[in-house]
């Protein structure tokens, strides 16, 4: 199956700092989503971004599908940005059930 690798595994930031999280995948995809898992365990949809660039407030994401990676940018980080960030991808497949394969996540801690 497809491999999804996220880096770095852990990230400690001072409040106000900027950071970049990376997601590499081993095969072509037709869906890529970024999630933030909050301290209560909920998965919050951040971006649906199979290609191109999107921005939502202080967060933005870029996917370069031809080079098999995606980046999530956090600018002016806040303590509420703490949590685990997951990238998930879907392989194009005619008969399959369209499952998402998740990466191992990047655990982010933003210190005040």
Partner 1 sequence: EPEVTQTPSHQVTQMGQEVILRCVPISNHLYFYWYRQILGQKVEFLVSFYNNEISEKSEIFDDQFSVERPDGSNFTLKIRSTKLEDSAMYFCASSGSRGGYEQYFGPGTRLTVT
- Residues binding partner 1 (CB under 8 A): 30-31, 33, 35, 41-43, 45, 48, 50, 86, 88, 90, 92, 96-105
94 sits in which H/E element: none
What is the token pair recorded at 45?
Answer: 């949809």
- The 3-state DSSP class for residue 90 equals strand
Q: Which is nearer to partner 1, 6 or 77 (CB)?
A: 6
- Euclidean distance between the first and the last CA atom of the chain, given in angstroms as a whole number: 40
Q: How far is the CB of 59 from partner 1 (least distance, A)?
A: 16
Q: Which is nearer to partner 1, 32 or 74 (CB)?
A: 32
């Amino acid at each position: 199956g497809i491999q999804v690798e996220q880096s770095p595994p852990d990230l400690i930031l001072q409040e106000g700092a900027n950071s970049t999280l990376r997601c590499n995948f081993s095969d072509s995809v037709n869906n890529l989503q970024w999630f933030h898992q909050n301290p209560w365990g909920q998965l919050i949809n951040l971006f649906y971004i199979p290609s191109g660039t999107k921005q939502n407030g202080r967060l933005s994401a870029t996917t370069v599908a031809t080079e098999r990676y995606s980046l999530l940018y956090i600018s002016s980080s806040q303590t509420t940005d703490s949590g685990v960030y997951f990238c998930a991808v879907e392989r194009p497949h005619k008969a399959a059930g369209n499952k998402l394969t998740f990466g191992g996540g990047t655990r982010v801690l933003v210190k005040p």
